[in-house]
């Protein structure tokens, strides 16, 4: 006989056998080890695994139980959670058949009866109507389409007395949730920010908050406290910018989120860029929604299609941005340094390829170094760099050609009265450009700039407000990783310049969306200029970003995220996951 226990403190399943003959047991152990995540064996008679992983393995376990005619029992909580899982799985199957619980007119009436104040757009109404029929769903609408409003409408429609809501979100989106809640549900209790150490969070939870928001970074640190509280009440769980759990159980954020995946009565994931690298990014997000439905990178697209909604930029009537490349040649000394480093990195890459392909990911640092040399070699000055004589020659030339061009181009635009946002991956480059353009009122945002009040001069919010309101502030220099989310600049800025770009498609797309979003007039042109050095790692970055964006466009059936840049120099070929690294190695080889 097999017995299943639910271990509430670990959010895990324990499978126990009391069969002295071990009929089918060793086969079960092997099955769980091969198909589950984080499987462990305390004794020769017990198997432990996260509950969400147990749910995904359950169909295989059931098949084995039937094969060997093994009797199965479960404790009370395991039985309840299994019934909840079966219900969710059945409703997922119905979603694939196009089942819809309410009409759009019925949703409008229900929202009015429940006191929801904001009038939904036609696209929002369509999306909410679809999501209401699902126990777990996804909204992949573009920034500015109102995903937060859709989420709160779903919460308003489906909550009952004592329902709690946990929102996992980037810190810079907290204010948007609070503001949207105050508009949509003005009589609702305030959002409680779960922050501080475990003791402080435990104290906040003692007040039994109704709506809570927590960052992806914080959740793993207070998982016990949050899990204990939510295990006692019915609750919904929404993931804002859900692509942040793309690493799944192998990442800290994904592991924490997935450990709670079996508990919520309603789940929602939200992202405008749900697969920044490949379709594999969707697997962990789908696992959160439906852990009982087994998927992999090859099947996940077909499985997620019935349960996601998306409003496209075309539906919002946004004019298509104009993308173009400006090529800037490296200086002779910079080119000598770049070629030397490229040859050295190629030798290392060939050794890795010959000996152990599993170490390919270590090449990410190599790509980063060449990005630095191509855009701003002075970034290497304070590093443990062995070619100091060559670097000295480069630094004697002053600012890099790329930085000189970006500053010159920005001054030209400012003289025409245009505000400009400049993007770079590197903090030192951001501050350097901001310093060079200080006479234009330039300011900067990167990961070292704290969030806070608009009234504090050095906060992220104060810098954004100044860029909006100060007619003498023409330039904002920022890092897509720090400022690519939660900022709207489209009312004052219509020109973006990229000193460099990384291989991260989400960072690129979301940074463009800061100036290209709902609210633009139909005759307002948005211009995105990418500064590249020919025959450099910039070529590899562009190829990989283009590929990722095309894949995302195909999966989401949305051609409005396609990017077809124009080239200012037609002689230039218009043309980090493992594919990124392999493309980077091809660049090292001169291919």
- SS3 state at 138: strand
Residue 114 CA: distances (Å) to CA of 127, 192, 237, 482, 568: 18, 22, 20, 37, 55
- SS3 state at 92: helix
Higher pLDDT, 384 or 494: 494
Q: Are residues 359 and 389 in the same domain?
A: yes
Q: Are residues 159 and 59 in the same domain?
A: no
Residue 96 maps to a domain: no
Residue found under tokens 């308003």: 156
Q: Are residues 365 and 419 in the same domain?
A: yes
pLDDT average, residue stretch 29-41: 92
Where is the domain boundary, 278, 309, 340? 309
Q: Are residues 293 and 367 in the same domain?
A: no
> Which residues span the domain enclosing 218?
101-309
pLDDT at position 302 is 93
Let me know: does 126 contact 137? Beta carbons within 8 Å.
Answer: no
- Reported pTM: 0.82
Residue 52 maps to a domain: yes
Question: 270: domain CATH number?
Answer: 3.40.50.10810
E-state strands within 487-582:
493-498, 527-532, 566-567
Q: Are residues 457 and 386 in the same domain?
A: yes
pLDDT average, residue stretch 177-205: 94
Query: How crowded is the C-beta side of 267, counted as CA atoms within 13 Å?
Result: 23
Q: What is the DSSP string of 422-486?
A: EE-S-HHHHHHHHHHTGGGT-EEE-TTSPP--TTSTTSHHHHHHHHHH-TT--EEEE-HHHHSSS
Residue 83 maps to a domain: no
571 CB burial (10 A radius; 0-12, 13-18, 19+) = exposed
Residue 572 pLDDT level (bands cut at 50, 70, 90): very low
pLDDT at position 395 is 86
d(CA 562, CA 575): 15
Residue 15 maps to a domain: yes
Could you give the percent of the chain with pLDDT greater than 90?
Answer: 66
Residue length of the chain:
591
Structure tokens at 302: 């077909």
Q: Are residues 517 and 550 in the same domain?
A: yes
d(CA 214, CA 204): 12
pLDDT average, residue stretch 229-248: 93
Where is the domain boundary, 309, 339, 369? 309
Residue 175, pLDDT > 70, answer yes
Q: What is the helix, strand, coil percentage profile of the chain, to 5?
A: 50, 15, 35
Residue 565, pLDDT > 70, answer no
> Strands of 2-7's sheet, edge to edge?
46-50, 12-17, 2-7, 72-74
Report strand pairing: 211-214 vs 164-168: parallel
Question: For 74-78, 330-334, 393-397, 438-442, which range has the lowest pLDDT when averaged over its residues?
Answer: 393-397
Residue 80 maps to a domain: no
Residue 391 maps to a domain: yes
Residue 315 maps to a domain: no
Per-residue pLDDT tens digits for 42-75 = 878 999 999 999 999 999 999 999 998 889 999 9
pLDDT at position 568 is 40
Per-residue pLDDT tens digits for 155-166 = 999 999 899 999
Q: Are residues 370 and 294 in the same domain?
A: no
pLDDT at position 452 is 75
pLDDT at position 561 is 62
Structure tokens at 180: 């949207």
Helix or strand run (H / E) with residue 318? none
Per-residue pLDDT tens digits for 510-540 = 899 899 987 788 889 999 999 999 999 999 9
Residue 385 pLDDT level (bands cut at 50, 70, 90): low
Residue 439 maps to a domain: yes
Residue 112, pLDDT > 50, answer yes
Q: Are residues 393 and 301 in the same domain?
A: no
Question: 355: domain CATH number?
Answer: 3.40.50.300
Q: Are residues 389 and 290 in the same domain?
A: no
Report strand pairing: 211-214 vs 192-193: parallel
Question: For 12-26, 77-91, 175-189, 418-432, which range has the lowest pLDDT when averaged over its residues?
Answer: 12-26
Query: How crowded is the C-beta side of 14, counted as CA atoms within 13 Å?
Result: 15
d(CA 330, CA 6): 61
What residues contact 591, with CB distance under 8 A and at least 6 apart? none
Q: In whole numbers, what is the pLDDT of the chain averaged over residues? A: 90
Q: Are residues 363 and 421 in the same domain?
A: yes
In angstroms, how far is CA 582 from the centroid of its own chain?
A: 23
d(CA 269, CA 90): 20
- For the chain, the domain total comes to 3
d(CA 267, CA 511): 27
Q: Are residues 417 and 483 in the same domain?
A: yes
Residue 367 CB coordination number (10 Å): 23
Q: Are residues 105 and 241 in the same domain?
A: yes
Per-residue pLDDT tens digits for 321-372 = 999 999 999 999 999 999 999 999 899 888 888 777 667 777 888 899 999 9
């Amino acid at each position: 006989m097999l017995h299943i226990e639910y271990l509430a403190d670990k959010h895990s399943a324990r499978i126990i056998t009391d069969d002295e003959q071990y009929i089918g047991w060793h086969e079960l152990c092997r099955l769980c080890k091969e198909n589950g995540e984080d499987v462990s064996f305390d004794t020769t008679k017990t198997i432990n695994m996260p509950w969400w992983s147990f749910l995904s393995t359950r169909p295989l376990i059931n098949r084995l139980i039937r094969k060997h005619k093994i009797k199965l029992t479960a404790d009370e909580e395991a039985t309840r959670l299994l019934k909840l899982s079966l219900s969710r799985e059945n409703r997922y199957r119905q979603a694939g058949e196009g089942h819809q619980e309410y009409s759009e007119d019925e949703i409008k009436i229900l929202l009015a009866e429940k006191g929801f104040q904001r009038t939904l757009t036609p696209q929002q109404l369509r999306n909410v109507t679809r999501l209401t029929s699902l126990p777990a769903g996804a909204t992949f609408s573009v920034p500015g389409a109102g995903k937060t409003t859709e989420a709160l409408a779903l919460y308003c429609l489906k909550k009952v007395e004592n329902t709690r809501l946990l929102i996992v979100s980037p810190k810079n989106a907290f204010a948007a949730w609070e503001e949207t809640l105050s508009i949509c549900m003005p009589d609702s209790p305030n959002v409680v920010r779960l922050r501080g150490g475990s003791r402080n969070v435990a104290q906040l939870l003692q007040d039994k908050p109704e709506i809570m928001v927590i960052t992806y970074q914080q959740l793993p640190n207070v998982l016990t406290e949050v899990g204990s509280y939510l295990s006692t009440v019915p609750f919904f769980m929404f993931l804002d910018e859900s692509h942040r759990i793309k690493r799944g159980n192998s990442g800290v954020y994904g592991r924490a989120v997935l450990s709670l995946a079996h508990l919520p009565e309603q789940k929602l994931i939200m992202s405008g860029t749900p697969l920044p690298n490949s379709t594999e990014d969707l697997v962990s997000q789908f696992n959160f929604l439906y852990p009982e439905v087994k998927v992999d990178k090859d099947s996940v697209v077909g499985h997620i299609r019935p349960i996601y909604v998306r409003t496209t930029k075309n539906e919002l009537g946004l004019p298509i941005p104009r993308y173009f490349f400006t090529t800037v040649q490296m200086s002779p000394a910079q080119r000598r340094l770049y070629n030397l480093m490229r040859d050295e990195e190629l030798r290392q890459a060939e050794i890795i390829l010959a000996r152990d392909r599993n170490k390919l990911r270590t090449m990410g640092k190599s790509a980063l170094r060449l990005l630095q040399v191509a855009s701003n070699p002075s970034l290497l000055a304070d590093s443990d760099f062995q070619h100091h004589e060559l670097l000295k020659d480069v630094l004697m030339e002053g600012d890099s050609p790329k930085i000189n061009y970006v500053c010159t181009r920005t001054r030209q635009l400012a003289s025409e009265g245009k505000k400009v946002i400049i993007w770079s991956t590197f903090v030192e480059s951001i501050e350097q450009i901001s310093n060079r353009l200080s006479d234009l009122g330039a300011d900067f945002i990167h990961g070292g700039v704290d969030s806070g009040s608009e009234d504090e001069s050095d906060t992220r919010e104060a810098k954004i407000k100044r860029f909006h309101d100060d007619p003498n502030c023409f330039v904002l220099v920022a890092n897509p990783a720090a400022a690519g989310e939660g900022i709207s600049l489209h009312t004052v800025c219509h020109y973006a310049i990229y000193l460099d770009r990384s291989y991260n498609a989400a960072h690129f797309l979301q940074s463009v969306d800061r100036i290209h979003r709902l609210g633009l007039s139909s005759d307002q042109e948005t211009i995105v200029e990418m500064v590249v050095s020919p025959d450099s790692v910039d070529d590899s970055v562009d190829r990989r970003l283009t590929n990722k964006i095309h894949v995302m466009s195909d999966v989401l059936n949305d051609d409005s995220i396609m990017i077809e840049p124009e080239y200012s120099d037609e002689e230039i070929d218009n043309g980090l996951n493992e594919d990124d690294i392999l493309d980077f190695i091809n660049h090292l080889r001169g291919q």
